[in-house]
Amino acid sequence: MRALARYSEANAIIRASLSSLLTRGQLDEILRAGAFSDSWNALKSTAYAAWLPEIAAPAPLPVERALKDATALRFKRAIRSLKGKAGEVGALLLSRWELDDLHDALRAWHAKDAAYTPPVSGVSLGTAVPFRDIARAETLEAVGALLSKTPYAKPVLETARIYRETRSLFHLEIALEKGHYRRLIAAIQDLGGHDAGHGLRLIAAEIDLVNLSWLSRCASYYEAPAALLREAMIPNVSALASTLEKTGFSAEEVAEVSLQYVSELAGDQGGKAPGLERIALLESFVIEAAVDAARRELAGFPFCIACVIAFYFLIRTELRNLRGIFAGRAAGFSPDELSGRLCGIR
């Protein structure tokens, strides 16, 4: 009975929201609508109409901000009734949008980007992060001071010395990611029992995706030195994480492991993809498997944190697809190219 009371409103909102998730047909209409502004109008003709602002002349940056806000608002609405330990998990899931914005502000600070525009969000994400001040700060220690009332200050200050030595955000961004998922995993574990077990299995897919994105970045920009790869990996309970942890994290071993893992999932076709394409293929498999798991969870006992995490993953997957569509349209990719990159659609 306690679980019924704890999750009843969240479950009702999530159930009502599932039918408004975009279908492949709707995403294809958005892709093939014509000009960039036509794609935006096509999105406005879906359930997103209730969540999107009026933009007179849609452009990539305002559209990106609007997509972030719309998906964050939809998820925040679903978790508004969660209290206590479940509420803490919901708040940490919502803060993923805030962490994305913090990464953007830190990259602007690192690049001394005078054109950086801080997010003007209509969504309260839990902490008041001064993004504009962060982008204009003189030192990383000053950034840490600006974040003193947030959980992000500690990883910023702990990596300040190595940033001065390397002039790379790599260690800082990794520390922020690890701190976020450490807090989230601890909060899910604190729920105990069925909640903790199912919740940890579902959030493992997102951690896998973050780890795969770091593999891509290491391979692209750092030539995948083993020490960097090992530092980048966020501890996880998934089969993929277990497989990667058994390697020495040399570039050759990571390539071989990813080849083996894709081959196991996709048969002979998986093994044909080279390097970065193989990691992208792995990402698509992880997303598809996680979406299936999320929908199975939503079809089962609904009064648990796993259903909240399942909806979170579906919303984040939708944001991933929409960002890919609009960023791809702005970059000049064809609808067919972009359609082939969509994942997790039912």
CA torsion, points 47, 50, 52, 58, in degrees to nearest 10? 70
Q: Which two tokens stand for residue 228?
A: 């960097």
Widest pairwise Cα distance in the chain: 55
Structure tokens at 217: 């970045």
User: How far is Cα 307 from Cα 288, in angstroms, rounded to an integer?
Assistant: 17
pTM above 0.85, yes or no: yes
d(CA 263, CA 260): 5
* Helix or strand holding residue 227 (H, E): helix 226-232
Distance between CA atoms of 102 and 152, rounded to whole angstroms? 9
Neighbours of 188 (CB within 10 A): 27
Find the Cα–Cα–Cα–Cα dihedral 227, 231, 236, 239, rounded to 10°.
-20
- pLDDT tens-digit series, residues 145-183: 999 999 999 999 999 999 999 999 999 999 999 999 999
Determine contact, residues 303/7, Cβ cutoff 8 Å.
yes
Question: How many whole angstroms separate alpha carbon 176 and alpha carbon 156?
Answer: 8
Q: Which residues neighbour 65 within 8 Å (Cβ) at sequence distance 6 or greater?
A: 119, 120, 121
Mean pLDDT of 66-94: 95
d(CA 13, CA 75): 10
Can you give the pLDDT at residue 266?
A: 45
Q: What is the DSSP string of 94-140?
A: HHHHHHHHHHHHHHHHHHT-TT------SS--SS---HHHHHH-SSH
The CB-side HSE value for 67 (13 A sphere, CA atoms) comes to 24
User: Tens of pLDDT along 285-314?
Assistant: 889 989 999 999 998 877 899 999 999 999
Tens of pLDDT, residues 248-282: 555 556 556 555 555 554 444 444 444 566 677 77
